[in-house]
Structures are given as structure tokens and as C-alpha cells.
Amino acid sequence: MDKFLNDMGREKPTRFTDQQLRIATDNFSNLLGSGSYGSVYKGVFSNGTVVAVKVLNGSSDKKIEEQFKAEVGTIGRIHHFNLVRLYGFCFERNMIALVYEYMGNGSLDRYLVNDTNNLGYEKLHEIAVGTARGIAYLHEECQQRIVHYDIKPENILLDGNFNPKVADFGLAKLCNRENTHLTLTKGRGTPGYAAPELWIPNFPVTHKCDVYSFGVLLFKIIGRRRNTVEELAESEEWFPMLVWKKFDTGKLGELIIKCGIEQKSRDIAERMAKVALWCVQYRPEFRPVIGLVVKMLEGSVEIPEPMNPFQHMMGEIFIAHPVQESQTYTTTTLSGSIMVTDSNMLRSTPIMSKYEIEIAPATL
Ligand SMILES: Nc1ncnc2c1ncn2[C@@H]1O[C@H](COP(=O)(O)OP(=O)(O)OP(=O)(O)O)[C@@H](O)[C@H]1O
Ligand SMILES: [Mg+2]
């Protein structure tokens, strides 16, 4: 334990025994929640440090120990204000666990479901910007890019001051290795938040899948009160589609009002809606990089007029599939004819090229 206290201030994640974790968590009596990788318990070490212990599903195996330690070592050295800190791990015959800093205000999902835990839109905007900064660090500043694969409100944790910290980064890699004995109860990503390419077999998946999930998160923030607002209560429409239709017909402002967003936050909400429409573009290469998302949300760069992210769902049904190993697409109808043309899908603006929002070539 003394070693842990020393290590806490250092870079390196500490190794714990299952006995130490059993004592700290009072025999795993305080369950914070469960997910696809295992269950999370609250714990306190003798020096008063409060932790969240995630006990991973699966059994340990000497063969995976070195690789597990190497990967945990990498995750444990990643420090950023908007990322949850990993203090250490346990790798024993009967237990594999990760020990994280404890986040006093829990996860963002509980602030998006109803009005009982009301966070104002300005705070929610700050949370969105902080979250994007955390993801940007993973994508753009780590020695080896880390794709999260599971950005969603449950993985955005809030500290005592409601500063957002992205949780569970690096876990997809840790738990998906072929030789691992850890089991996943579901595929990568979470329905609703996962980018379309995650559900298409053999489709190339890049960091842009996190941008898509972040866009869905923005829609959740904007639309969180809509079920309590009368005029929208009847609307069964998928909210992102509704946002697009309103934007396309110049009625985004009206929708924002109907979502119950207070006057002073309407500009911010409108900005968030436009960024969200960019983030959920069907084609990954149309989505902005997350660093640009940060700037657009902050208001430090102009937001280009979004293109229709749902073209593939309106009218004709499109199927996208990869061509060879490159990240290009052919887009066809179910009957096989090519539908993508310069005029209906591909339009570029000077701002898009300035900010490196890429447009795929017309002939793919
Ligand atoms: N460091 C932490 N501090 C406080 N609460 C936490 C912490 N980590 C997780 N939790 C809580 O425990 C819950 C379960 O976490 P867990 O990561 O197992 O599942 P999830 O985030 O819902 O799904 P996924 O497995 O896809 O990440 C979270 O939703 C969160 O409320
Ligand atoms: Mg989680």
C-alpha cells in the first residue's frame, strides 16, 4: 500500500492484489454500475483516495499477462484533464480489474434523461467541448492514436465540479485482442451511438467512428427536454432526422425553442446542432476531425452549412461498401445502380477545404 501511495503521484500504474481491492471495496459491496466489460465498484484506500474498481469479465491466463500489462501501462500513462485517470490494475488467477479515479458526479447519462438533475445548456456545452478535447487528445496527441469505439453518455464521467472526463479509452483494444480470454458480451460500440461502418462486416473503421458517436451525443444534449415539451411530445421522428429537416427548411431556430432551450443558450444550441449534423455524416471522410469539432463548438471557426447526413435513408435505400483496402466507397441502390453524382452528394465549400473537411472524388 505504501508503494501505491508513492506511485499515485508518478506516471506508472500500480499493480494491486485482489485482497487489496477486496478490502478497499468492502468486499465489492458498493456497485456503481455494469457494462459490457464487467462491473464497477466504489472503493476507498487507507489514505482516503476514492477509486472506482472495474472488475473485467473473463479469466486470466499467464500467456496474456505481459501484453495486458503493456497495454495497461500505455493507458495508465495517458494524462489529460478530460480523460479519466487509471491508477492501476489487478491481474490474478481469479481476478482481472482496473482501478480508476472516482468521479463524484457519475456519468452524463443521468443528466440527460429528465429535468430532475438539471444542468443548464451552458454547462452542457462546456461538457461537450471538454469531451471533444479529451477525444482530440486520444486521436491527435497520443504517440499511437487511440480510437475509443464507445463514446456515449455513460462513458463521460463528471468530477465534483462537473468537469467531463472520458472513461474507458483503450479498453476496446485491451478486451478485443484475439488471444485474450476476456469476453465481450456485445460487439464494438453501442446501438444508437455506433457509426454505421461499425455494423458492416469488413468495413474499414477509423477514428471517425468516434466523431459520429460524439455527434449523437450532441443530439442527445440538444433534445434532452423535448419529450417534456408539448409540441414535440407527439413527434415520433428520430431526433437527428428532425434536426436535419428543420435545418434544411430554415426552421432550426424554431426547433431549438421547442426543445425548451432558454433564450441565452439558443445560439450555442444552434451551433451544437450544426456540428452534430457534420459529425453524423454517413461517409466517414465527410465528418470533420475531432480537433476541428472542438474549434467549431468553441465558436473559434465558422461552421460550414452541413450537408444532408441522411441522404441514404431518404427515398432510395443506399448500401455503402468498401472497395479494396482503401477507405473509398461505392454507393449503390439495392438494385445495383450507382446513385452518387456530383450534384446530389458531393459539394464542397471553400471553408470545407480550409478546415480539411474532405470530399471524396466523384468517381470511386
Ligand atoms: N471512475 C468512475 N467513477 C464513478 N462512476 C463510474 C466510474 N466508472 C464507471 N462508473 C459508473 O459505472 C457505470 C458502469 O460503467 P461501465 O463502464 O462498466 O459500463 P458503461 O459505461 O455503462 O458501458 P461500457 O461497458 O460500454 O463502457 C457507468 O455508467 C458509471 O455510471
Ligand atoms: Mg463505461
pLDDT along the chain (364 residues), means of 10: 57 90 97 91 95 86 78 90 96 92 95 77 96 97 90 96 94 59 54 86 88 97 78 75 95 92 93 98 96 97 95 62 38 31 39 52 40
Closest ligand 1 atom number to CA of residue 37: 25
Contacts 24+ apart (CB under 8 A), 202-205: 202/322, 203/320, 203/321, 203/322, 204/322, 204/325, 204/326, 204/327, 205/147
C-beta of 153 in contact with ligand 1 (< 6 A): no
How far apart, in whole angstroms, are the C-alpha atoms of residue 269 and residue 274?
9
pLDDT, position 332? 32
From the list 150, 159, 210, 267, the catalytic residue is 150
Nine cell digits for residue 188? 464494438
pLDDT, position 103? 97
The listed CATH number (1.10.340.30, 1.10.510.10, 3.40.1670.10, 3.30.465.10) that belongs to domain 110-312: 1.10.510.10
Superfamily of domain 2-101: Phosphorylase Kinase; domain 1 (3.30.200.20)
pLDDT, position 11? 67
The segment(s) of the chain belonging to CATH 1.10.510.10 are: 110-312
Which helix (H) or strand (E) segment is 230 a member of?
Answer: helix 230-233
Closest ligand 1 atom number to CA of residue 171: 27
The segment(s) of the chain belonging to CATH 3.30.200.20 are: 2-101
pLDDT, position 130? 98
Catalytic site includes residue 115 = no
pLDDT, position 356? 55
pLDDT, position 216? 97
Q: Which residues neighbour ligand 2 (ion) by CB within 5 Å?
A: 35, 155, 168
